[in-house]
Chain A
Amino acid sequence: MKKIKEVFRNILSKIAIFYQGKISPILNKIGYKLTHNIIIHVSHSEVVFFSKFKMKMTRKRRSAFYGFLFISLWLIGYLIFSLYPVIHSLFLSLTRAFYNIQTGIQTEYIGFVNYLNIFRSQTLLPLYINYFVKMLISVPILIVFSMIIAMLINQPIKGKGIWRTIFFLPVVISSGPIISELMAQGATSLPSFTDNQILDYLSNNVGSWLANPIESLLNSLLFVLWYAGVPILVFLASLQKIDKSVYEASSIDGASPWDNFWKITLPSIKPFIIVNIIYIVVSMSLFAETGGILDLAKVHMISGTQDSKMWFGYGYSAAMTWIYFFLMVIVIGIFAGLLSIKKKER
């Protein structure tokens, strides 16, 4: 084991040396060429375009120039790969659209009829409401749970590596095709949770009105916890960034662990709470469970034809997913708002 570690460390240090010696100068040269060429020549006080037109370089302009330089990769990629699909799907949601083998997608502009039809629909509206309630309940549970786990495995415990690998498992398992295989064989739910004597006892004595919600909560709770892998790691990384000496200083001043958590730990990992909220909401929403909204949208898209009374084609499914999208934004907005309110109180 030690040998493997040593080999790995050697490789890493070699990579670091290679990076310092070879890649870093190349990157520097590329960066230099980007700011010192025929079209544009940047010096500290002024910018020269085509070696003729001069422009004063203020601090604001400099920052804007370099900002656009750094995100230029993303801008190009966005214009090529992402802008058109977004606009196209928004356009599709305002039309009656069907797939035709000869002509591609046929569209006919109908305005907001698709959206109105969704609000009239008896099957879809409850699904949206269910989704909304589920998100509002499970996101705080997940955030608190992953924060607790991250703080636990950040403690000085024995076998850190093993614990950390265990809590990396959900990332590996839940993102791959393995999860469906395991779900099919019933390995993702614990038998001790589902055949619980207490639930039987409850439903026999109190009635199913209390036992059923508890059972569904327990079942979905276990499933929800599979999304905790990424948040745990993000929290762990942000916890590691906190300087240990801050804790020492505060404990000398007589702060309890409880105070430490609220005054030091929470404020310093706060920026990552919003990252995790966005990740959790998106990843939970984008999991296409059978009978869910996304699944229905797919069916509408694939089996929709001109004369169909059941499935309404591309436009309808696009409108469905856009409403879904707005709900996601609202959920994220609610939690982001809650976080910022807390900040103002301090």
Chain B
Amino acid sequence: MGKSKEFNTKLKKVLFGLNFVDGLLYKLVIYTLLISFSYIYLYPLLYMITNSFMGSSDLINDGVKWIPTHIELTNYKQAWVVLDIKKSFISTFWYVLKVSVLSTASTALIGYGFAKFEFPLKKLLFVLMLITFILPTQVTMSSNILIIRKLGLVSTQGAMIYPALLGQGLNAAIFILIFYQFFKTLPTVLSESAEIDGANEMKIFTKIALPLAIPSIVIVFLFSFVWYWNETYITGLFTGDATTLPLKLLSFKASYAELFPPGSSGAALNEGVVLAGNMLVILPLLIIYFIGQKNFTESIDRTGITGE
């Protein structure tokens, strides 16, 4: 009788732990939840990876679903040539880096202005900012193009760079909102004590607010990098020439037919090649995030300690 009771308490300790959070049951629930949720997002990626390594015979074969019979590297070679990775990767990377850095910097300034200062018409301006975000771009597109043309920015990168610099870039309003909420949570005591020590507002912003807001800066930079990288509609309209990698991906079939005319070897374009091209386009983003996220979380931890 006593033994079974002891066993019961031990079992309880292993299953539920001392504080429930460190028990086996809790861990089991967490990992099952994570694995099942991540399957939703991993499925397309796995599909892309496996299919991009398949030859055309494997793609047609119904029996081959996940593991290709032999690994076909020509898919990647062809996609590499069609997308002209060497040249277009560097140009795309520089363009996206420029625009996203500018967008991050300007939205940080604006978000700080909205969060820390009281001025007349503030609420109205804030609402106007949100309206520009909520209003579908399709309806403002025609007059937007007119403005860009009048400024003489059509078919140059300036059409994307100047709006980004002036806080009107892609999804800039959501960045301003993120910065706004982050700066709002900063204690006012910090800026007040700096003010007493004789720092002007600009100094307070660069020396105190910005270093504390590193997590939000990283998050906004990552988002704007990914969004500018992936944006094809506006980039295609404004900058005109197919310079960025995702734009090239859109015209993949046409440029493939140009490089491998019908009748030549490897002329048949299959899904494998297209998916290999897709993989090559999103791979840089995943690598950047995987390296960046470690730093991103660490800086947040540090902020948590120094923030209060």
Contact = CB atoms under 8 A, between A and B. Distances in A.
Interface of A: 4-5, 8-9, 12, 24, 27-28, 30-32, 34-35, 60, 63-71, 73-78, 80-82, 84-86, 88-89, 105, 148-149, 152-153, 155, 157, 160-161, 163-173, 175-178, 181-182, 185, 187-188, 190, 222, 225, 230, 233-234, 237, 240-244, 251, 256-257, 271-272, 275, 278-279, 281-282, 285-286, 288, 294, 297-298, 301, 314, 317-318, 321-322, 324-325, 328-329, 332
Interface in B10-64: 19-21, 30-31, 33-34, 37-45, 47-48
A251 B22 CA distance: 13
12 contacts: A28-B202, A28-B203, A32-B200, A60-B118, A66-B117, A71-B114, A77-B165, A80-B147, A81-B163, A161-B290, A243-B305, A279-B174
B9 interface: no
B120 interface: yes
Interface string B128-146: 1111111111111111100
Nearest to B65: A191
B295 A294 contact: no
A67 B44 contact: no
A29 B143 CA distance: 37
Q: Which of B40, B133, B139 has the most CB of A within 10 A?
A: B139
Interface in B184-207: 184-185, 200-203, 205-207
A22 to B, nearest CB: 12
Given A81-B163, A240-B215, A257 B20 contact: yes
A74 B206 contact: no
Contacts, number: 287
Contacts of A166: 38, 41-42
Contact of B166 (A74, A163, A167): A74
B281 interface: yes
A177 B303 contact: no
A12 B293 CA distance: 13
B30 A157 contact: yes
Contacts of B139: 89, 297, 317-318, 321-322
Given A80-B147, A244-B304, A71 B125 contact: yes
B286 interface: yes
Given A24-B206, A67-B122, A282-B133, A175 B293 contact: no
Interface in B127-179: 128-144, 147, 151, 163, 165-168, 174, 176-178
Nearest to B137: A286
Contact of B304 (A27, A86, A240, A329): A240
Contacts of B92: none
A289 to B, nearest CB: 13
B72 interface: no
B291 A173 contact: no
A13 to B, nearest CB: 10
Given A63-B118, A275-B177, A78 B128 contact: yes
Contacts of B255: none
A31 B201 contact: yes
Interface in B287-308: 289-291, 293-295, 297, 300-301, 303-305, 307-308
B100 interface: no
Interface in B210-256: 215-216, 219, 222-223, 226-227, 229-232, 246, 249-250
A74 B110 contact: yes
Contact of B219 (A78, A233, A321): A233
Given A73-B106, A176-B230, A157 B31 contact: yes
Given A67-B118, A176-B230, A325 B134 contact: yes
Given A73-B106, A241-B307, A286-B136, A85 B295 contact: no
B167 A74 contact: yes
A321 B176 CA distance: 24
Interface in B263-285: 271, 274-275, 278, 281-282, 285
B112 interface: yes
A155 B116 CA distance: 33
Interface string B97-132: 000000000100110111011111010010011111
A170 B39 CA distance: 12
B136 A324 contact: yes
Given A73-B109, A76-B166, A257-B21, A85 B281 contact: no
Contacts of B275: 181
A28 B204 CA distance: 10
B181 interface: yes
Nearest to A319: B139
A12 B151 CA distance: 37
Contacts of B147: 80-81, 84-85
A332 to B, nearest CB: 8
A241 B300 contact: yes
Given A77-B167, A149-B37, A178 B278 contact: yes
Given A8-B291, A84-B147, A321-B138, A171 B223 contact: yes
A241 B176 CA distance: 19
